[in-house]
Structure 1
Amino acid sequence: MTTLTEAATATTFATRVVDRVARGLGRFSRRGFLVQTAVVGSALAVDPKGYVLTPQTAASTVCGPAASCSAGYTVMCCTINKGVNGCPPGTFAAGWWKAADSSWCGGGYRYIVDCNASCSKCTSGCSGDNICSKGCWSCGCKCGSSATCDQRRVCCNAFRYGQCNTHVRCSGGVACRVVSCIAPYKWANCTTTSLTDNATAEHSAPCLPRWSAITRKYVALGGEGSPLGVSTGPERAVGDGRGRYVTYQHGAIYWSSATGARAVRSTAITWYRQLGGPQGVLRYPSSDMVTARDGKGWIQLFEGGAITDSPQTATHTVSLASYRTWVATGRETGQLGYPVAERVMGPGGYWIQHFQRGAVADTPHSVTCRVTGWQYTQWRKHGGEHGGLGYPVSNLVVDGSKWLQLFEHGALADTPSSTTCVVWAWQFGRWSALGREKGVLGYPVSDLQVSGSSWLQLFEDGALADTASSATTHVFGPAYRRWLALDRERGVLGYPVRAQSDEVRSGHGQRFERGQLWWAAGDTPWVVRGRVLTAWAADGGASGRWGYPLEDTVVASDGSQHQRFEGGLLTA
């Protein structure tokens, strides 16, 4: 709730601003009004309290003293160089001096570098003071633009201090001035010989960053001699109510109260800007660019992710759920390694991101999952997310010396007694219905085996099978072990064609292509086939007078068949 005192204060503040503008403008044109009110806006942004409470002009707050052309000083380079605090084309650093107690450098020394014009048109007049005739200069003398409060002289003052680029014997006059909080001999081709002019300590322009947490960070990184290069504009608000930033030739420094001032440079700044900068998915940087944990690549962390690179990979970003999984598994030195691709969105809410040794993925039907190591290699061999298995829908499940990983349309599994096996979609559905690895079949121990129109897949204690004349069925337990001993589908029984059935007195039976297995509770499954099977079944099978078999069907050399049952010997 706003109090009367607060309302009065706010009104007084606004009124004083308007009054200050009105008094400062006097008679003005429409363009003049726009320029002057823009200067007032800059003054309020730079030093709102100082501007309102201290008698001064908006121009003096933003541009400092002696900002007019008649004052005799030279314009700031950023004013005429598209915001860049560096020597414009056709000029070079020619000399420097320092000014003490500058608020623009936190109360310390401020360094001013003259950018002199080159003698690009001729070299006449260089024999005396090493300043060529004005007709030879690469720029012409004029006053600064009335569109800014920095209306100091451009390319007018014919002198040179001479501590920089001493190999250039002849030059034109001073085109503009570069300012820094770092001594020029640390970042430019200048000597350490120092001159002083404290009157210039507060000279400035709207395009220069003021002293702040961002400038302190810039100075700590080496200022103009850092990988960022020179500033290309003033400090600005991000626009989200959280932070501010300054742009440089090769990057930017962003600040928020939560993260502090952090530099984003080189390749990272390109990716960061493409992703929306601090208002994008990565949000504000939470670290500077640092060497990665393996000592080979680099990484920069953000509130919402990271940008990273290595000699073996290109620059990539990791964000959102991919980033959380990547961090949880050890980042670049963990299970996944460096990212090798960006996060790719698929139809229907699917997404995936690949890394050196794995992938992180999500689907509308699963939580975020990862596939790594050997499983990743096998999955990629089968086409990855575009292959028959589809996206991973579980993390690796380890059970002692066995493991299993589920995908949209199947699974990968391994046991000590088998190689890594694939269970494809149709087989996976039946296997899942039977309880998967916890069910009667156990883990797969073979890949799918296809023979003509029939197929078979073996598991630890069972099998799934299908033929042209039967639906998919399974064989397990004692029947499976006996079937294996009889050479599986290649033996006397062939493929299973019906699931195991429960019979009288807790016995069981199962049908195959060329016979059946029957056994009483606790007994061995016995083969019943041929004419014996026909006769036995016609007489009621296990429920009839013959009961359960006590041996396999015997085929004599003369073609006759017989078999012992609980009820006696049946001959056919």
Structure 2
Amino acid sequence: MPQPEPCYIHRQGEAVRAMTRGLREGDSVADATTFGGVRQRGRIIGILVATLALVAGLIAIPQQSSIAANGSDFDPGFIIADDLFYDGAAMSAGQVQSFLNARVPQCRAGYVCLKAYSQDTASRAGEAGRCGGYAGAPGESAATIIAKVGAACGVSQKVLLVLLEKEQSLVTDDWPTSRQYRSATGYGCPDTADCDAAYYGFFNQVWMAALQFKRYQANPGGWRHIAGRTVNVLFHPNAACGSGPVYIMNAATAGLYNYTPYQPNAAALANLYGTGDGCSSYGNRNFWRIYTDWFGPTKIGPQYFIEKTYRDYGAEAGVLGPAVTDIRSFTANGGGAVRGYQNGAIAWSAPRGAFAIMVAIRATYGAWGGVEGWIGWPASGANSISAHGGGTVQAFQFAAIASSQTGTWPIPNANRTALAAVGGIDGEFGWPMGENVCDAQSRCIQAFQGGSVYGRTGAAFGLPASIRAVFETNGGRTGAFGEPTSNPNRIEANGGGRAQGFEKGAIVESPAGTFAVTGGIRTAFNAAGGIGGVPGWPVAAAACDAGGACSQRFQHGSAFSSSDGAAWFIDERLAGEYAALRATLGKPTSGTNAIAANGGGIVQGYEGGAIAWSSTGGAHAITGVLRTQYNALGGIAGQPGWPTGSATCAAGVCTQRFAGGLMVSSAQRGSLVISQATDRYLAAGGPTGSLGWPTTGGIRFEASGGGFVQAFEQGAIAASASGAYVVSGGVRAFYNERGGITGPLGWPASEMTCDSAGTCSQQFQNGRIVWSPIGGGRVE
């Protein structure tokens, strides 16, 4: 025949200490409630709140020593975990006895508290799939009965203790009545009638309650409240109080609702240790509260978190659809649990939590071994990202899985870190284009829309497409660079750009382009201050000759390296001249020195000479014997001053323009500076021309308006306001006989002209000299 229902007590389910001794005997328990902090027993129907208040005032009410539970933590869909509820080995008889002793240290005189209660028990046959058999014995203590029933039925002794407390306050009552023992668990006590005498007795009550909970578990579809379903659960026996939908997450919660089919309303939860309002019920609230206060949290293990996540996704009516597997435990990757659904799965692990895995991400996850594979347990739900065409990303223990129009691919954690450092999927890299591919040396690469991530031995770095192109053009990780050692870093100096480091060099990108900086050039570049220092950003790729000597131009100069490993940086004002004459000049022997003399500029010395730069003359090398004699003449601070042109040499004779004039030099004859007569001297052929080698420096004369004269082997040049003119041959001799510059003729005013007969003439300030080989000279 059908099993009798347990005592619903208006389905509030906890009968506790009577309000007065006069109500204790023969009282038909119709409700269990709390009033003024102490749980009271009595019927709701016909008992007015005023009466309760009056009676409460007559009773000494012990205060709660502490409040462990909080009403905001109550979850109507998950009152207690199955692992806790159905743990038949939760407590031994000795542990139960110790627990009871602690609850009531001293029983009132004349009463038998639960800690001291005993009775003869009858043997009970087991019920397949529910409870095993029970071997009766004379004089068994309540603790023994609770322990043995729990073990036989696989129901936690803690649960049975809480049930006894919430139904009849037997655990904490220091003056219990026979009625409390008679209907200890409320079994066989329907709402509409008194308790069924067939189920009277402490042992009978404990046994039948445990068996009933196992019946609920074994035949879940045979009862109104079913795990894995959303059920409208009443708030109170009065239907006018309404109901609320509850997704019942597990068998234990379903069993508690089948035993006591009401959920607490907000008022009952707001006053967790007291009463709510006229529509409040307390049975399942008090079960949860008492268990929490006595034994700790009821939400343990994966079940709660998986089912809560499922509920958050809409439960059986949501996107995941109905469950298709039970919750299964796995030990891989630290352990956890998984439940499969029609359209996905939910996986839980500690400390990450429970997350749904769906659609393409689930397929890829499964293809890589799921929770037992290298990707591990989920660490977040799927997140939508709209950038670069849109898609979804989900984080896992050792990777993320990204799904977009480019495909669905795992991104290992090292790659995720590198990707995040360069802006993530929202940044220029975008979505992965394929899986992470590794070679036998564990060197890995994963392509993205806007670049690639290169990894090795747990570290990975992102190379944007522009930098990747230069990297691969130079042989990639087996070429000139080796492995990347950083992600690209933004640098604002010198106009801004970004740089990325490698084992053997760097690749830098600025508005001027993307260029490699490697080897000795990199050494010199860094020594000079790098991007933020004198060099600035590269503006061209490095160029190397067959001998291994290299150079590279930067914003503010050029770096050079030689085949022997030496390297140096040359200021931009000197770099062009140095590049042209590098073979002659060799390596620097000094830094760049600023000199203020004669208008100022900079000079740098080299093995084979020097380069001097001024704002008016530019940069020019000074080398060889010319440099030696230039220095002997005072150099920059002396008569020559700053160079204004490059040296030219022929037949051992060199000339070079300076601010102070043209310097003529040879190892045999020394050097002189042709100052005001420079252009005229060069027009005459210079040292190999008609005038020959200079024999004096420029000499100043103040006569006839002033000017300079410089003598040469075959003549002289006189420069005045009238111009610079050569005076040579017989005209020069006759001119000098007449006093020359200081004589009456004054300064020359034209070039000398000669005819085929050798007769020459030249105009001077104050006359013309005509000279012939036969007649000699005359003044006209």
Is structure 2 residue 570 aligned with structure 1 residue 475? yes
Q: What amino acid is aligned across from residue 310 of structure 1 in structure 2? A: S
Is structure 2 residue 336 aligned with structure 1 residue 336? no
Q: Distance in 2 between the 1:55 and 1:341 partners?
A: 59
Match of 1:102 in 2: 225
Q: What amino acid is aligned across from residue 474 of structure 1 in structure 2? A: F
2:523 to 429, 434, 445: 429
C-alpha contact 2:436 2:444 (8 A) present in aligned 1: no
- 1:24-173 maps to which residues of 2 (within 5 A)? 24-26=132-134, 43-44=155-156, 55-56=207-208, 61-62=213-214, 64=216, 101-106=224-229, 108=231
Q: Distance in 2 between the 1:520 and 1:294 partners?
A: 53
Shift of 1:446: 1.6
Shift of 1:434: 0.6
Q: What amino acid is aligned across from residue 449 of structure 1 in structure 2? A: A
Is structure 2 residue 270 aligned with structure 1 residue 270? no
Residues 364 and 342 from structure 1, CA distance in 2 versus in 1: closer, same or farther, beyond 3 angstroms?
Answer: closer
Match of 1:174 in 2: none
Match of 2:108 in 1: none
1:355 to 448, 459, 464: 448
Q: Deviations over 1:207-265 (max 9, x none)?
A: xx899536646872558x9578611x346698999986434688532358998753225
Match of 1:230 in 2: 324
Is structure 2 residue 335 aligned with structure 1 residue 246? no
Largest Rg, 1 or 2: 2
Q: Distance in 2 between the 1:239 and 1:466 partners?
A: 55
Is structure 2 residue 472 aligned with structure 1 residue 388? no
Give the structure-1-normalised TM-score.
0.54
C-alpha contact 2:327 2:337 (8 A) present in aligned 1: no
Is structure 2 residue 468 aligned with structure 1 residue 316? no
Q: Distance in 1 between the 2:387 and 2:644 partners?
A: 68
Shift of 1:63: 5.8
Q: What amino acid is aligned across from residue 307 of structure 1 in structure 2? A: I
Count of equivalent residues: 418
Q: What amino acid is aligned across from residue 372 of structure 1 in structure 2? A: P
Match of 2:539 in 1: 445
Q: Distance in 1 between the 2:389 and 2:472 partners?
A: 28
Residues 56 and 242 from structure 1, CA distance in 2 versus in 1: closer, same or farther, beyond 3 angstroms?
Answer: farther
Q: Distance in 1 between the 2:555 and 2:588 partners?
A: 20
Q: Distance in 2 between the 1:512 and 1:378 partners?
A: 33
Q: Distance in 1 between the 2:457 and 2:328 partners?
A: 43
Shift of 1:269: 4.2
C-alpha contact 1:282 1:304 (8 A) present in aligned 2: yes
C-alpha contact 2:557 2:573 (8 A) present in aligned 1: no
Shift of 1:456: 1.4
2:470 to 370, 378, 381: 378
Match of 1:410 in 2: 505
Residues 313 and 401 from structure 1, CA distance in 2 versus in 1: closer, same or farther, beyond 3 angstroms?
Answer: farther
Q: Distance in 1 between the 2:475 and 2:149 partners?
A: 63
Q: Deviations over 1:66-86 (max 9, x none)?
A: 87xxxxxxxx9xxxxxxxxxx
Q: Deviations over 1:374-403 (max 9, x none)?
A: 234433444555543331424332537541
Q: Deviations over 1:147-205 (max 9, x none)?
A: xxxxxxxxxxxxxxxxxxxxxxxxxxxxxxxxxxxxxxxxxxxxxxxxxxxxxxxxxxx
State the SS of the aligned residue for 1:55. helix
Q: What amino acid is aligned across from residue 401 of structure 2 in structure 1? A: I
Q: Deviations over 1:295-352 (max 9, x none)?
A: 6644334588632233423420353x6546646766434322223344979999x998
Q: Distance in 2 between the 1:439 and 1:430 partners?
A: 12
Residues 351 and 59 from structure 1, CA distance in 2 versus in 1: closer, same or farther, beyond 3 angstroms?
Answer: farther
RMSD (Å), alpha carbons? 5.8
Is structure 2 residue 95 aligned with structure 1 residue 11? yes
Q: Distance in 1 between the 2:497 and 2:438 partners?
A: 28
- 1:185-264 maps to which residues of 2 (within 5 A)? 212-213=307-308, 216=311, 220=315, 222=317, 226=320, 230-231=324-325, 233-234=326-327, 245-247=338-340, 252-254=345-347, 262-264=355-357
Match of 2:561 in 1: 466
- 1:548-567 maps to which residues of 2 (within 5 A)? 548=641, 550-552=643-645, 554-555=647-648, 560-563=653-656
Q: Distance in 2 between the 1:253 and 1:332 partners?
A: 25
Is structure 2 residue 626 aligned with structure 1 residue 527? no
C-alpha contact 1:293 1:332 (8 A) present in aligned 2: yes
1:542 to 635, 639, 659: 635
Q: Distance in 1 between the 2:535 and 2:381 partners?
A: 52
Q: What amino acid is aligned across from residue 460 of structure 1 in structure 2? A: Q
Q: Distance in 1 between the 2:412 and 2:608 partners?
A: 58
Residues 513 and 275 from structure 1, CA distance in 2 versus in 1: closer, same or farther, beyond 3 angstroms?
Answer: farther
C-alpha contact 1:527 1:551 (8 A) present in aligned 2: no
Q: Deviations over 1:391-450 (max 9, x none)?
A: 14243325375413121332222444x432110133212211110022222211121211
Shift of 1:512: 5.8
Q: Distance in 2 between the 1:556 and 1:238 partners?
A: 87
Q: What amino acid is aligned across from residue 455 of structure 1 in structure 2? A: C
C-alpha contact 1:255 1:261 (8 A) present in aligned 2: yes
Which runs of 5 or more structure 1 residues have no equivalent in the other structure?
28-35, 68-75, 77-97, 110-208
Which runs of 5 or more structure 2 residues have no equivalent in the other structure?
1-64, 69-90, 101-117, 125-131, 136-147, 165-184, 186-205, 233-302, 667-780
Q: Distance in 2 between the 1:15 and 1:241 partners?
A: 35
C-alpha contact 2:390 2:404 (8 A) present in aligned 1: yes
Q: Deviations over 1:83-125 (max 9, x none)?
A: xxxxxxxxxxxxxxx766133244749xxxxxxxxxxxxxxxx
1:397 to 468, 474, 490: 490
C-alpha contact 2:480 2:518 (8 A) present in aligned 1: yes
Q: What amino acid is aligned across from residue 527 of structure 2 in structure 1? A: A
C-alpha contact 1:492 1:515 (8 A) present in aligned 2: no
Shift of 1:463: 1.3
